[in-house]
């Protein structure tokens, strides 16, 4: 009907004499239709998610993969680990990208979004604070600069890897998380891999929030008291890189340096890794041995992805971070390498009294189911702004060496994959430009060596305090590689690294505000010093050790304190339980659960442990509070859940298994809520099938694959299985073969 046209009189004859009733009937009809549409949509959504929960990637047969030059074979072993054989490096990295895209596509996309600060686009406002922190650093800009500066060979590897990821995204079933969140991932790019590597360096750097927290203690207490309130290490348990004790006297706080609320709030999460090794002259089999277990977030899918890569140019196996090509930690045919976070000061923070030499930029954050948010950041060529947590209305300027760095850490990893000796590996590490790491390398000659590598600014603050604005004129050059802690290659060497202080008295640089407490390193050294020669089985057993020297000491001090001052109403059962405890956080131990609750109640932060009980006010009250734990075993009290990356959205059906309590924050077998050994590896150099590697959940990130949680039983039991290396070993363990063919012409 056209506008202003005379109405047809027949319409009036058929009109309902009760318009309200007609309107009601119409609304009911529309409401029913709307409800039906919603129900159909909900059923389709549920069906699509259900399909995703059962879907799994194709791992056998033959697939056409445009972009390859020649056919590539991907053999899956019993644990679903891909063993890739290709005719050249381009096809090798293409196939690695295809394997990662098949098994971990959602993890790849989430890691990329985390790096760029774009999680809120799919997860909503809950993820906005994380995005704001990442955008402050400007990871996207760093990745662009590093990608442009990459050597041609490394850039080609990233291009091929990205092509492989995208080939998997096109040909494999869409993972369930995308179906649940109702979006599809954008194509992977070479820059995305660089961004993931930058984000990894940022995770290992000294956080500016930690510097701001320490600064409050420094300003209130002064340098002398700071040293006792937040000590560099616990000198009673320090050991050298070679595992020798370096015991020095405890720094006890004076009356003028009592614990403050500020010091108690400088809480440090016990992160890090363990690594140790022995030269061939110290092993039963005549091969150098190397053990490594990095400690990162305990998630499913896991942070590490196992892989074996072979082409005429290289053959390497071990673990990589999803999104990064090659092998990050592992071995090739001639060399093995391990790493732990050096825990050194990488971040210089400055007051921002006057902002000059830079500019303000506005970042727009798209937030799912909410309005966009805009945040302004100040940036120069060397610094970026962050909120000053001690002065909420102000900003601070952060100088992080990687922010202005054009050299990517991916090149270092790929060079190590091709290295032929410990000496060559050390030359490669001299060019490493990421957050500082402790590296231990071992080669076929039987020699092992140690070196800190990475960017450690020679900044007199060492992360302890915030610089005045005038110090922005200063340049703090990195400590030269040759002057960082090191040990030359040796066949008779024994080496230890567990995020502890790696130098002795008299070393010219402080290097850190605080190192991780040396308790794990001390226990590793104890076990190494208990033998003259080692084999892979002994190293694997060490990784499962649950004895905590510091917790055993705390239990003894509590007993001594209670003996000197028997409190009222003392429960004799509690004291007897502590008295019988051997310091092990074994699953069956009730005393472990009691002591852990007691320690948490007595000590506010990690640094406080170095001071002992002498300054504690009320041991009796702490004992009364912690006594409830005596009825629990550590299996229950210390149990942790392997949570899915989307656990903040309350999706427990995607979570992994519960791990029984076994070890704690200070044991070699490190395990605490949200944090654990990311993998356990032992490498017998030149006898690669004698050691092995294991991960907590499974190789696949797809719940329907059958390899989502299948490795957890081995993890809990401590079984270390070899990662097949070499044609015969791979063929013997093979369960599926997938051939990728170039596109037909």
- Cβ-contact 525, 519 below 8 angstroms: no
Q: Can you give the pLDDT at residue 260?
A: 60
Q: What is the largest CA-CA distance in the chain?
A: 109
Quickly count: other Cβ atoms within 10 Å of residue 260's Cβ. Answer: 15
Q: Can you give the pLDDT at residue 290?
A: 98
Q: Please measure the distance between the N-terminal and C-terminal CA atoms of the chain and give it in whole angstroms.
A: 57
Confidence of residue 629 (pLDDT cuts 50, 70, 90): confident
Q: Can you give the pLDDT at residue 619?
A: 80
Confidence of residue 28 (pLDDT cuts 50, 70, 90): confident
**Integer angstrom CA distances of residue 312 from 83, 118, 163, 205, 602:** 15, 39, 21, 36, 59
Residues 6+ apart with CB under 8 A from 724: 77, 83, 308, 689, 730, 732, 733
**Integer angstrom CA distances of residue 456 from 462, 518, 698:** 9, 20, 36
What mean pLDDT comes out for the span 372-389? Answer: 94
7: pLDDT strictly greater than 50: no
Question: Helix, strand, or coil here: 434?
Answer: coil
Provide the b/e sequence for 38-62 (b: ≥16 CB within 10 Å): eeeeeeeeeebeeebbebbbebeee
Range of weakest confidence among 44-48, 102-106, 472-476? 44-48
Percent of the chain with pLDDT over 70: 91
Confidence of residue 11 (pLDDT cuts 50, 70, 90): very low
The average confidence (pLDDT) of the chain is: 91
**Integer angstrom CA distances of residue 88 from 309, 323, 558, 692, 724:** 11, 20, 63, 27, 21
Query: How far is it, in rounded angstroms, from Cα 719 to Cα 97?
Result: 29
Query: How far is it, in rounded angstroms, from Cα 84 to Cα 76?
Result: 9
Percent of the chain with pLDDT over 90: 77
Sequence ranges of the chain with CATH classification 3.60.20.10? 207-305+318-344+408-466+476-542
DSSP 465-500: SPBPGGGGG---PBPPGGGSSEEEEESS-EEEESSS
Residues 6+ apart with CB under 8 A from 39: none
In eight-state DSSP terms, residue 404 is: G
Q: Can you give the pLDDT at residue 3?
A: 33
pLDDT tens by residue, 467-523? 999 999 999 999 999 999 999 999 999 999 999 999 998 999 999 999 999 999 999
Residues in the chain: 745
- Cβ-contact 579, 558 below 8 angstroms: no
Bridge partners for 82 per DSSP: 76
Confidence of residue 8 (pLDDT cuts 50, 70, 90): very low
**Owner of token pair 């660089």:** 194
14: pLDDT strictly greater than 50: no
Bridge partners for 316 per DSSP: 309, 332
Range of weakest confidence among 17-21, 289-293, 575-579? 17-21
Residues 6+ apart with CB under 8 A from 460: none
Residue 680 tokens read as: 């356990």
What mean pLDDT comes out for the span 587-606? Answer: 87
Cis peptide before 19 (omega within 30 of 0): no
Residues 6+ apart with CB under 8 A from 327: 307, 309, 316, 317, 318, 319, 320, 413, 416, 417
Residue 563 tokens read as: 């003996």
DSSP 85-142: E-SSHHHHHHHHHHHHHHHHHHHHHHHHHHHHT-SHHHH-GGGHHHHHHHHHHTHHHH
383: pLDDT strictly greater than 90: yes
pLDDT tens by residue, 665-708? 999 999 999 999 999 999 999 999 999 999 999 999 999 999 99
CATH topology of domain 207-305+318-344+408-466+476-542: 3.60.20
Q: Alpha-carbon dihedral of residues 323, 328, 332, 334, nearest 10 degrees?
A: 160
* Helix (H) or strand (E) segment spanning residue 274: strand 272-278
Confidence of residue 620 (pLDDT cuts 50, 70, 90): confident
DSSP 344-363: ----EEEE-SS--SSEEEEE
What mean pLDDT comes out for the span 353-377? Answer: 93
Range of weakest confidence among 209-213, 446-450, 605-609, 671-675? 605-609
- Cβ-contact 327, 102 below 8 angstroms: no
Q: Whose CA is closest to 474, among 464, 465, 461?
A: 461
Strand 437-443 and strand 359-365: pairing?
unpaired
193: pLDDT strictly greater than 70: yes
Confidence of residue 631 (pLDDT cuts 50, 70, 90): confident
Confidence of residue 627 (pLDDT cuts 50, 70, 90): confident
What mean pLDDT comes out for the span 169-186? Answer: 97
What mean pLDDT comes out for the span 142-166? Answer: 98
Confidence of residue 74 (pLDDT cuts 50, 70, 90): very high
Crossing angle of the two packed helices 89-116 and 152-171, in degrees rounded to 10 = 80
pLDDT tens by residue, 258-280? 666 666 556 665 568 999 999 99
Query: How far is it, in rounded angstroms, from Cα 68 to Cα 47?
Result: 35
């Amino acid at each position: 009907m056209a506008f202003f046209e005379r109405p047809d009189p027949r319409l009036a004859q058929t009109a309902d004499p009760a318009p309200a009733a007609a309107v009601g009937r119409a609304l009911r009809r529309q409401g029913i239709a709307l409800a039906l549409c919603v129900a159909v949509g909900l059923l389709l959504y549920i069906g699509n998610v259900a399909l995703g929960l059962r879907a799994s990637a194709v791992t056998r047969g033959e697939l056409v993969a445009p972009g390859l030059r020649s056919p590539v074979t991907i053999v899956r072993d019993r644990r679903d680990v891909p063993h890739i054989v290709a005719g050249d490096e381009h096809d090798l990295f293409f196939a690695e990208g295809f394997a990662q895209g098949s098994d971990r596509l959602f993890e790849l996309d989430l890691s990329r979004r985390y790096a760029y600060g774009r999680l809120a686009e799919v997860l909503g406002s809950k993820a906005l604070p994380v995005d704001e922190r990442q955008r402050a650093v400007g990871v996207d800009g760093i990745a662009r600069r590093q990608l442009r500066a990459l050597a041609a060979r490394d850039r080609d590897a990233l291009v091929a890897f990205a092509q492989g990821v995208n080939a998997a995204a096109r040909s494999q079933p869409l993972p369930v998380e995308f179906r649940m969140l109702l979006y599809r991932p954008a194509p992977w790019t070479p820059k995305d891999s660089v961004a993931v590597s930058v984000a990894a360096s940022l995770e290992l750097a000294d956080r500016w929030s930690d510097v701001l927290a320490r600064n409050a203690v420094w300003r209130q207490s002064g340098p002398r008291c700071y040293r006792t309130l937040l000590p560099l290490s616990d000198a009673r348990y320090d050991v050298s890189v070679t595992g020798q004790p370096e015991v020095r006297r405890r720094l006890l706080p004076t009356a003028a340096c009592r614990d403050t609320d500020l010091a108690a709030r400088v809480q440090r999460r016990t992160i890090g890794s363990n690594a140790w090794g022995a030269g061939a002259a110290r092993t039963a089999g005549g091969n150098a041995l190397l053990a490594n277990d990095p400690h990162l977030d305990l998630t499913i899918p896991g942070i590490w992805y196992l892989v074996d890569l072979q082409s005429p140019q290289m053959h390497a196996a071990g673990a990589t971070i999803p999104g990064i090509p090659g092998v990050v930690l592992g071995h090739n045919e001639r060399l093995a390498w391990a790493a732990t976070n050096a825990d050194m000061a990488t971040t210089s923070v400055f007051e921002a009294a006057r902002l000059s030499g830079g500019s303000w930029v506005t970042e727009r954050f798209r937030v799912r189911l909410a309005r966009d948010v805009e945040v302004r950041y100040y940036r120069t060529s060397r610094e970026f702004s962050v909120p000053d947590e001690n002065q909420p209305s102000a900003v601070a300027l952060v100088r992080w060496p990687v922010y202005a760095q054009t050299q990517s850490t991916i090149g270092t990893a790929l060079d190590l994959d091709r290295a032929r000796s410990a000496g060559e590996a050390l030359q490669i590490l001299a060019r490493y430009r990421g957050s500082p790491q402790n590296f231990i390398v071992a080669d076929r000659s039987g020699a092992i060596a140690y070196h800190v590598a990475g960017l450690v600014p020679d900044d007199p603050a060492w992360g302890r305090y915030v610089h005045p604005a005038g110090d922005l004129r200063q340049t703090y050059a990195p400590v030269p590689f040759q002057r960082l802690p090191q040990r030359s290659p040796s066949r008779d060497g024994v080496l230890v690294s567990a995020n502890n202080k790696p130098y002795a008295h008299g070393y010219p640089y402080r290097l850190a505000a605080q190192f991780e407490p040396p308790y794990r390193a001390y226990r590793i050294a104890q076990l190494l010093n208990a033998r003259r020669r080692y084999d892979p089985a002994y190293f694997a057993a060490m990784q499962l050790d649950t004895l905590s020297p510091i917790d055993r000491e705390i239990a003894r001090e509590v007993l001594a304190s209670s003996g000197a001052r028997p409190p009222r109403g003392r429960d004799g059962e509690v004291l007897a339980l502590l008295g019988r405890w051997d310091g092990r956080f074994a699953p069956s131990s009730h005393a472990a659960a009691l002591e852990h609750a007691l320690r948490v109640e007595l000590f506010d932060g990690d640094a406080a442990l170095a001071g002992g009980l002498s300054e504690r006010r009320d041991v009796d009250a702490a004992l009364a509070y912690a006594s409830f734990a005596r009825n629990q075993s550590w299996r229950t009290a210390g149990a942790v859940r392997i949570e899915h990356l989307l656990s903040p959205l309350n999706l427990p059906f995607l979570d992994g298994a519960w791990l029984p309590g076994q070890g704690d924050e200070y044991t070699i077998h490190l395990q605490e809520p949200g944090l654990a050994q990311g993998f356990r590896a032992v490498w017998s150099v030149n006898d690669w099938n004698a050691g092995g590697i294991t991960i907590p959940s499974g190789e696949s990130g797809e719940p329907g694959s059958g390899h989502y949680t299948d490795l957890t039983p081995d993890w809990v039991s401590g079984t270390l299985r070899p990662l097949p290396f070499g044609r015969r070993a791979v063929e013997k363990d093979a369960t599926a073969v997938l051939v990728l063919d170039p596109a037909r012409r």
